[in-house]
Amino acid sequence: MKYKTSARTLFLKNASNIPGWSSKRKLVVFESDDWGSIRTPSTEAYDNLKRDGIDMESDEGHLYNKYDSLAGSADLSSLFEVLNSVRDSTDRPAVFTPESVVANPDFERIRQSGYKEYFYVPFTENLLDQGHGEDTFRLWKEGIENRLFVPQFHGREHLNVPVWMRALQGGLSAPLSAFKQGMWGISTADDQRIGLEFQAAFDYQVPEDLLYHKKVLVSGLNLFEKLFDYRASYFVPPNGRISSSLEPLLAEEGIRLLSVSKINREPLGHGKDGRRLHWLGQRSRDGLTYLTRNCVFEPVKPGIDWVDTCLYEISTAFRWKKPALISSHRVNYIGTLYPENRDRGLIFLRQLIKRIVTNWPEVEFVSSAELGEIIQNG
């Protein structure tokens, strides 16, 4: 491998894999966030915001604003073809766990209310509104049936509704400009009038926000079940931000697995954070099992050999008898706005999965829910 980094980084990567559940099995999970979210509806919307003076290029999320959008049928069929191009030791293809939101704001109804009320629509309606057609969601269902693409819950929206609505009602220019383009994902954490990212759906400022978040979780999980015909068992909070006070509700609503960072920044309200230490397979008092990611594959970001980097991280996980949980966002595989972005991401994904089965012939590709079952039954 060509992977090179500092001695300190190598030490930390190894040390962080030591605690937690272990197995001699070579298990690989691909977790891909943000499916179902609008993000950027068109290149025109992006260009219009730039003309309005909105900074779309300097913050960390600029590649998402430029390339990320709802997946079309070409995106899904191309991804499925790549996943089907390999077989693991159990003669099964690679599988994605798309962490999915199930709704987006209904911009027109919100505008008609004078920004006084919030409304949402299922993302399946957004697919039709943006011209993707009924074939696109049919591909979602085929991906589930063929165990190539098995969604889990990423929230109702990838949007902090209370904070966003307060910004709109307060007449803040940047959020209103984005609203006119059918967007919200501009960077806002540095705006002292807002104080956090709109994308962080379960971050909060005041206790009343938590009451709304409970309603979002219940309605979102119910809509997930209605769309996909099964109850979500795994939850990945958008931007990783959520209060532990919501964990009992998650357990009541059927969530068994929760994605957390190993050193988790928990929002405490009013701009304050706490720190909680987690490890793979750890159980909460409410019976949730925590999953922690230990590999990254984001070929949309330039300047890194993502295949070699990810292979090194997988080898480190296997060295300590840990499954490889790979974080790889939707933006890497979307060609709705720029087809070359999808094509580039899939080239690297194909290289990665082929080298995985070559390097570790005993590998097993599993979904996040399947990994959770293995941990809980082990």
pLDDT at residue 11, rounded to an integer: 87
pLDDT in tens, 79-122: 999 999 999 999 999 999 999 999 999 999 999 999 999 999 99
pLDDT at residue 4, rounded to an integer: 64
Mean pLDDT across the chain? 95
pLDDT reading at 1 higher than 60: no
SS (H, E, C) the chain: CCCCCCHHHHHHHHHHCCCCCCCCCCEEEEEEEEECCCCCCCHHHHHHHHHCCCCCCCCCCHHHHHHCCCCCHHHHHHHHHHHCCCCCCCCCCCCEEEEECCEEECHHHHHHCCCCCCCEEEHHHHHHHCCCCHHHHHHHHHHHHCCCECCEECCCCCCCHHHHHHHHHCCCHHHHHHHHCCCCCCCCCCCCCCCCCCCCCCCCCCHHHHHHHHHHHHHHHHHHHHHHCCCCCEECCHHHCCCHHHHHHHHHCCCCEEECCCEEEEEEECCEEEEEECCCCCECCCCCEEECCCEECCCCCCCCCHHHHHHHHHHHHHHCCCCEEEECCHHHHCCCCCHHHHHHHHHHHHHHHHHHHHHCCCCEECCHHHHHHHHHHC
pLDDT at residue 56, rounded to an integer: 85
pLDDT grade, residue 3 (50/70/90)? low
pLDDT grade, residue 339 (50/70/90)? very high
Q: Quick one: average pLDDT of 359-373?
A: 98
pLDDT at residue 370, rounded to an integer: 98
pLDDT in tens, 233-280: 999 999 999 999 999 999 999 999 999 999 989 999 888 899 999 999
Q: Quick one: average pLDDT of 134-150?
A: 97
pLDDT in tens, 262-272: 998 999 988 88
CATH superfamily membership of 25-377: Glycoside hydrolase/deacetylase (3.20.20.370)
pLDDT at residue 60, rounded to an integer: 64
pLDDT grade, residue 10 (50/70/90)? confident
pLDDT reading at 358 higher than 60: yes
pLDDT in tens, 181-226: 999 999 888 888 998 999 999 999 999 999 999 999 999 999 999 9
List the domain boundaries for the chain: 25-377
